[in-house]
A = this chain, B = another copy of it.
Amino acid sequence: MARVAGVVEAALDALLPPTEGAEGRLIDAMRYAALGGGKRLRAFLAMETAALFAVAETYSARVAASIEMLHAYSLVHDDLPAMDDDDLRRGKPSTHKEFDEATAILAGDALQARAFEVLAEPDTHSDPQARCELVMALGSAVGGHGMAGGQMIDMLAEGKTLDGPQVTRLQALKTGRLIQFSAESGAILGRASAQQRHLLAAYGRDLGAAFQIADDVLDVEGSTEELGKTGGKDAAAGKATMVSVLGLDMARAHADMLARQAAGHLDGFGPRAANLQVLAEFVVRRRS
């Protein structure tokens, strides 16, 4: 993962070059939000699933960078005062604290646009059909019935009691769909069979669900220092999580089960998929 993080960092740096123009402050804020941070879980998924089909990293690194731009935009907007109002992200001031609210809104907007643009560019794949599939799948994953819809449900759920299926759907939209797309993107880049794409999507879906529940557990157990973001904030905001629905022990067991299920989808890929199977274990064992 550290190697992939380095590759995607270089790709982001190249795809978001600083500028001398009057809009330089915006580009600086985009770089501040996108560069130098995070586990790069989504990038790792994109590059590892592409590697299953022997896709060159020059292509998969662009898709990984595009996904990380999209993810970074979502964090910038989620942290805004009108949303989750969080001053800390990846151990640094969140973008609207480092710059200001207007700049943060615009930086998120421009990161989203750049993510789609990069996917459509010829350097991402020789076949425009594959590039269109990437754009469509990303658009669907992050739109009103995807990530943005999930964040809406999350905002509406504050102070309310959701049941298990409601929390599951909330999380599937808010974080699951983009993680699923990350895993699927390798199959699109690799022009995989429908069956292979389906298995990778199922892997991404279960991995994403396990990841989110582990995140909920960490929010209860972890300190702000370890997390690099504010700990204990779900409970403070009265947010519905799988911990509030199932309790801590059952939530942990459910995440473990989902992680095993995720790994199981990859059995047919053989030893090439070992890294991805280990990742499923990692997302429920991590401490931050």
| B102–A144 touching, CB < 8 Å | no
A148 interface residue per 8 A CB criterion: yes
A225 interface residue per 8 A CB criterion: no
A110 and B143 in contact, given A132-B128, A149-B23 (Cβ under 8 angstroms) = yes
Contacts of A26 in B (CB 8 A): 144, 148-149, 152
The distance in angstroms between the C-alpha atoms of A138 and B136, with both chains bound, is: 15
Chain A 153-165, CB-CB to B under 8 Å as 1, else 0, gives: 1011000000000
| B83–A105 touching, CB < 8 Å | yes
A149 and B110 in contact, given A129-B128, A139-B117 (Cβ under 8 angstroms) = yes
The distance in angstroms between the C-alpha atoms of A101 and B155, with both chains bound, is: 11
Copies in the complex: 2
| B166–A22 touching, CB < 8 Å | yes
Report 25 cross-chain contacts, Cβ distance below 8 Å, ordered by A residue.
Answer: A16-B144, A22-B156, A22-B169, A22-B170, A23-B150, A25-B156, A26-B148, A27-B149, A30-B144, A77-B105, A82-B100, A102-B155, A106-B151, A110-B142, A110-B144, A113-B116, A113-B139, A114-B144, A116-B138, A117-B136, A117-B139, A117-B143, A119-B135, A120-B135, A121-B136
A241 interface residue per 8 A CB criterion: no
Contacts of A101 in B (CB 8 A): 82
Chain A 116-133, CB-CB to B under 8 Å as 1, else 0, gives: 111111100001110111
| A148–B80 touching, CB < 8 Å | no
Greatest chain B CB density within 10 A among A25, A101, A112, A114 is at: A112
Chain A residues with CB under 8 Å of chain B are 16, 19, 21-23, 25-27, 30, 73, 77, 80, 82-83, 100-103, 105-106, 108-110, 112-114, 116-122, 127-129, 131-133, 135-136, 138-140, 142-146, 148-153, 155-156, 166, 169-170, 173
Contacts of A144 in B (CB 8 A): 16, 19, 23, 26-27, 30, 110, 113-114
Contacts of A106 in B (CB 8 A): 77, 148, 151-152, 155
Contacts of A77 in B (CB 8 A): 105-106, 109
